[in-house]
Amino acid sequence: MSVKVYKSACRMCHGGCGTLLHVDNGRLVAVEGDPDSPMNRGRLCVKGRATLETVYNPARLLHPLRRRGPRGGGEWERLSWDGALDDIAERLLRIRETDGARSIALGTGTGRHHFNFVPRFANALGTPNWCEPGTAQCFMPRLNASLATCGDLPFCDYLGPVKPACILVWGHNPLVSSPDGELGFSLRDVLARDPQLIVVDPRRTALARRARLWLQLRPGSDAALALAMVHTIIHEGLYDADFVSRWTVGFRRLAAHVEPFTPRWAEPLTWIPAKRIRDAARLFAQTPPATLEWGCAIEHTPAAFQTCRALLLLPVLTGNLDRPGGFVTGAHALARFPFLDELLPPRERARRLGARRFKMLAGAGSPLPSAHAPTLFRAMRTGHPYPVRAFLVWGNNSLSTYANSRNVRRYLLSMDLLVVTDLYMTPTARLADFVLPAASWPEIRQILAVPFVAENLVLANQKAVSVGECLQDEEIMIRLSRRMDLPGNTEDLEEVLDARLAPLGLDFQELARRGFHLAKGHDHEYRKERGFRTPSRKVELYSRRLEHLGTEPLPGYGEPPESPFSAPDVAARFPLVLTSRGRVAEYFNSEFRQLPSLRRRHPHPLVELHPETAGRHGIQDGQWIWIESPRGRIKQKARLTSGIDPRVVAVEHGWWFPELPGPEHGVFESNANLLTNDGPPYDPAMGTYQLRALLCRVRPCNSR
């Protein structure tokens, strides 16, 4: 048989790289980048090139399993799919009959092919309680802040005929993380044109090294820096007066509001000299078209929502919003995903855990409301305000990805029913009653729109191979819906895909044949659309909608609750500021530690600290050290670098060790979430808790 080639889209991260899958006699033999794809032009990162190691990894889950004996005991019995799903459905129906559908919660991981199906399944089931570690901590604060301000989520215009002349990279390392469809390959191509580059990061990353201006801020002080730059732009008349007068509301209120937020005010908070703050504001404002690359680092404190609002003001005030080569909005090429919102009764929406307190996350302010994870976990433990008895987890290693991981373990052990669907037997799966084998990305059918929400490029994931009895997550949810006789989510998967593609005049089979569809470019779309997608049809610098929802209508500054300024008593014992090193090229959050080629490249978790700090504590480069916070301690290997402030320590997140014995697989050895805090105070809009800018201390460790 000759080799057959399928066009697809790599999903080793969020996704967006076009691929060619080579299949010989039913087996995937090669994965290469699609040279026709506008996002990657034939290139793949190290994760994409390791796809075969995931698909045919000897540690893959291949059959449904049911627990025998105590949780974590490691005893399993193999089931058929019919046997597993019948048993799960029966247990879910009993729990729903006893305590209501709201007592069943669904969890998922970072946005992958199945992400939208989780809230869809929840709505069909009748529960308002689904969650994901990032809905309050990653992407959704940016999305919801943007919708409240300008009615859309802007992204960097790298693919249009006009390229950015200035790029402001903030809390983000896109050359490594390639997030949300704004792939690092596109940025590399634009950087080859030598635009002005401003990088805001506590660490001297590769981007920071090549930047015209590197602003090495104190972790957690992002809003102070943004407001000081806004102050400079307004105070020095650097804003686009025509755009501001014609297309915004609330400018006078904003100007009065930011009057106290001077660069001199921001200097001690951010650790950045006032002159450097002014220089950055001037460079961004005076180098059109300019764009903003913002990342999830800005969403890791209880000031996340207003921080996002403050940053968004920079491209807005300078007239770079929806400007070719600037910060543009999307084509929205697809029909809205059918979340089945109409199936969830209004009384259940009101009872979503967190809905009353966090309206931009769990209530009326969110286009995709989800439960507040800490509130959900407390309900698991205490039964208040009502019991949560079942947790179905899709593609998430909860013990490594939620804050305060030891508490998460206690929450999961309290469940009457825990079901985990994954590629591998993770520490979380070890605690489950049922473990279901998920399909990897070359084994699925799905469509991918990038950049996310904007939907300018639509790609097809084609099912090229099958491995074991693995099923696509969406198919598992559909089969459960049918068994439970739910009022929705029972259609064939391809029907859902075809409905979304209908505005393009395509069905899934035609898109799969083409590989991708690229929508139109951007050129002041708001003028053609007669305004922005807000109640006023303008960009709302002062948002009456937020005011109506009980959220501050103008962005302000909130000091992290655990910092040298807000918690000096804690700082006396834990004098260093803790941040995350962000993603590394080889891994995606907690994934891929069992892939040989990637593990050889990056075998150990690394913590960065300044040589001066290391010297004070007797730490050598490459030595295992303890990093301790008020909540716990972990160990990682020291990497000494002058590219970090002596007052800051940067750990890697997502670590566990598949090669170590179960049930824990070392998840409590080096996991950064043993140090983080899921307790209050929370962001009043989004419920965000503090994942970075916390306090810590370090000392040598004599063992691995």
Considering only CA atoms, which of 358, 371, 391, 412 is closest in space to residue 680? 358
Round to whole Å and give the CA distance between 190 and 34: 20
For the chain, the domains span 4-55, 65-138+333-440+465-494, 154-328, 568-700
- Which pLDDT score, from 0 to 100, does residue 521 have? 64
**Is 174:295 a contact under the CB 8 Å cutoff?**
yes
**Is 670:620 a contact under the CB 8 Å cutoff?**
no
**Is 120:126 a contact under the CB 8 Å cutoff?**
no
User: Residues 452-478: pLDDT tens digits?
Assistant: 788 889 999 999 999 999 999 999 999
Token couple for 210: 């090549």
Coil, strand or helix: which one is 489?
A: coil
SS in 3 state form for 380-423?
HHHCCCCCCCEEEEECCCHHHHCCCHHHHHHHHHCCCEEEEEEC
User: Residues 382-399: pLDDT tens digits?
Assistant: 999 999 999 999 999 999
φ, ψ for residue 245 (rounded to 5)?
-70, -35
Strands 75-78, 104-108: pairing is unpaired
- Which pLDDT score, from 0 to 100, does residue 111 have? 82
DSSP class of residue 139?
A: S
Round to whole Å and give the CA distance between 99 and 535: 40
- Which pLDDT score, from 0 to 100, does residue 182 have? 66
Query: With pLDDT > 70 as the criterion, what percentage of the chain qualifies?
Result: 99
Between the alpha carbon of residue 598 and those of residues 467, 583, 603, the distances in Å are 22, 14, 8
- Which pLDDT score, from 0 to 100, does residue 184 have? 87
Round to whole Å and give the CA distance between 93 and 620: 57
Residue burial 62-99, b: 16+ Cβ < 10 Å; e: rest? ebbbbbeeeebeeebeebebeebbebbbebbeebbeeb
Between the alpha carbon of residue 449 and those of residues 18, 77, 126, 366, 544, the distances in Å are 12, 39, 28, 20, 31
CATH topology of domain 65-138+333-440+465-494: Rossmann fold (3.40.50)
CATH topology of domain 154-328: Dimethylsulfoxide Reductase; domain 2 (3.40.228)
- Which pLDDT score, from 0 to 100, does residue 176 have? 85
- Which pLDDT score, from 0 to 100, does residue 177 have? 80
**Is 644:610 a contact under the CB 8 Å cutoff?**
yes
Coil, strand or helix: which one is 633?
A: strand
CATH topology of domain 4-55: Phosphorylase Kinase; domain 1 (3.30.200)
Using CB atoms within 10 Å of the CB of residue 614, give its burial: 0 to 12 exposed, 13 to 18 middle, 19+ buried: buried
Q: What is the pTM of this model?
A: 0.96
**Is 443:463 a contact under the CB 8 Å cutoff?**
yes
CATH class of 568-700: mainly beta
Using CB atoms within 10 Å of the CB of residue 661, give its burial: 0 to 12 exposed, 13 to 18 middle, 19+ buried: exposed
Round to whole Å and give the CA distance between 16 and 21: 15
Coil, strand or helix: which one is 307?
A: helix
Amino acid at residue number 224:
A
- Name the strands in the sheet holding 27-33, side by side, starting at the edge strand that comes first in the sequence: 4-9, 18-24, 27-33
Residue matched to tokens 């969020």: 14
Which stretches of the chain drop beneath a pLDDT of 70?
1, 180-182, 521-523, 703-704
Q: Beta-carbon neighbour count of residue 35 at 10 Å?
A: 11
Whether the ω angle into residue 289 lies within 30 degrees of 0, i.e. cis, is yes
Instruction: Give rounded-to-5 percent helix, strand, coil for the chain.
Output: 35, 20, 50
- Which pLDDT score, from 0 to 100, does residue 86 have? 98
CA distance from start to end of the chain: 50
